[in-house]
């Protein structure tokens, strides 16, 4: 069964304290792995798409990596404005499957 | 201007009422989707459409119907609203291969059924 699991469910960091969010997946025929940022009450905002193991993408303080079983979203020296829920999704042969997200809180 | 827009942004209705949520996009994508989001459950697919003549049920289509009026417009209807349809509803679009296959989401509609 296609599945996406994100961990941890919630994470509190001090400003400047780097960390990583995990997205583990099982899917038949991976056609893409996607990271989104979602602020409360708003739509998911696209961050990255990764297609194959070994691929990496960066945007400001965020870096996404992909292996055959999981993806990591690395946050370097986070700021309070990085506080949000981060969603991971995979595109299988027939559909997209979303994880339940990691709620990140960055304290000043 | 936003690429994917949804109306209304907030709606409170009563049990048994018919309600329509609308989605418009200017991204030029053929594929459009409706999701609902509930706390702790993540995003769940209600319906999707790969073009104007192609509409498919998602994992939780019972109690919902859709209409694809044009490439840019995709509406979701609740025929007879019930309280457990209270949720955040999102419309999304995607550009299939050779595009990126990435989904882009609208701002959402917060629906409350009393």
pLDDT in tens, B34-93: 999 998 888 999 999 999 999 999 999 999 999 999 999 999 999 999 999 999 999 999
- CA angle A28/A34/A36 to nearest 5° reads 145
Sign of CA dihedral B104, B35, B96, A6: positive
% of chain A beyond a pLDDT of 90: 88
Question: For A1-14, what is the mean pLDDT?
Answer: 95
Least CA distance to B98: which residue of chain A? A31
Q: Which residue has the higher pLDDT, B100 or A65?
A: A65
Predicted pLDDT of residue A14: 98
Does position B112 have pLDDT exceeding 70, yes or no?
A: yes
Q: Do B104 and A46 touch (CB under 8 A)?
A: yes
Q: Please, which pLDDT band fits residue B27 given cuts at 50, 70 and 90?
A: very high
Give mean pLDDT, residues A49-62.
95
Asked if A72 is an interface residue toward chain B (Cβ–Cβ < 8 A), one would say no
Q: Give me the torsion for CA of A83, A36, B3, B30, rounded to 10°.
A: -170
Per the DSSP assignment, residues forming a β-bridge with A48 are A35
* Average pLDDT score over residue span A21-33: 93
Query: Closest Cα to residue A4, out of A36, A38, A39?
Result: A36
- Is A36 an interface residue toward B (CB < 8 Å)? yes
CA distance to partner chain A, nearest, from residue B41 (Å): 6
Q: What's the mean pLDDT in B4-19?
A: 97
Residue A23's contacts (CB-CB under 8 Å, 6 or more residues apart) are A4, A5, A6, A33, A35, A70, A71, A72, A73, A88, A99
By CB atoms closer than 10 A (0-12, 13-18, 19+), residue A66 is: buried
**Are the C-beta atoms of residues B14 and B8 closer than 8 Å to each other?**
no
Q: Do A34 and B103 touch (CB under 8 A)?
A: yes
pLDDT at A94: 73
Q: Looking at residue B1, what is its pLDDT?
A: 59
Question: Is pLDDT above 80 for A21?
Answer: yes
Give the residue from B101, B50, B55 showing the smallest Cα distance to B76: B55
Pairing mode, if any, of strands A10-14 and A102-107?
parallel
| Residue B31 near residue B96 (C-beta atoms within 8 A) | yes
Q: Among residues A69, A50, A47, which one has the least CA distance to residue A60?
A: A47
DSSP B18: -
């Amino acid at each position: 069964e296609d599945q996406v699991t994100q961990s941890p469910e919630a994470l509190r960091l001090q400003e400047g304290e780097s960390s990583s969010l995990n997205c583990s997946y099982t899917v038949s025929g991976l056609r893409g792995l996607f990271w989104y940022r979602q602020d409360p009450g708003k739509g998911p905002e696209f961050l990255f798409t990764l297609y194959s193991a070994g691929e990496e993408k960066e945007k400001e303080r965020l870096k996404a990596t992909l292996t055959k079983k999981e993806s990591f979203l690395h946050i370097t020296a986070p700021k309070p404005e990085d506080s949000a829920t981060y969603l991971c999704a995979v595109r299988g042969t027939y559909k997209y499957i979303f994880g339940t997200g990691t709620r990140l809180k960055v304290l000043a | 201007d936003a690429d994917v827009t949804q109306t209304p942004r907030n709606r409170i209705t009563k049990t048994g009422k018919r309600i329509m949520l609308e989605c418009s996009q200017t991204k030029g994508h053929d594929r459009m989707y409706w999701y609902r989001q509930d706390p702790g459950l993540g995003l769940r697919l209600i319906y999707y459409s790969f073009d104007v003549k192609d509409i498919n049920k998602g994992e939780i289509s019972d109690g919902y119907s859709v209409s694809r009026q044009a490439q840019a417009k995709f509406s979701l209807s609740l025929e007879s609203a019930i309280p457990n349809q209270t949720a955040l509803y999102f419309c999304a679009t995607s550009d299939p291969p050779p595009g990126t296959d990435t989904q882009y989401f609208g701002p959402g509609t917060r629906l409350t059924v009393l």
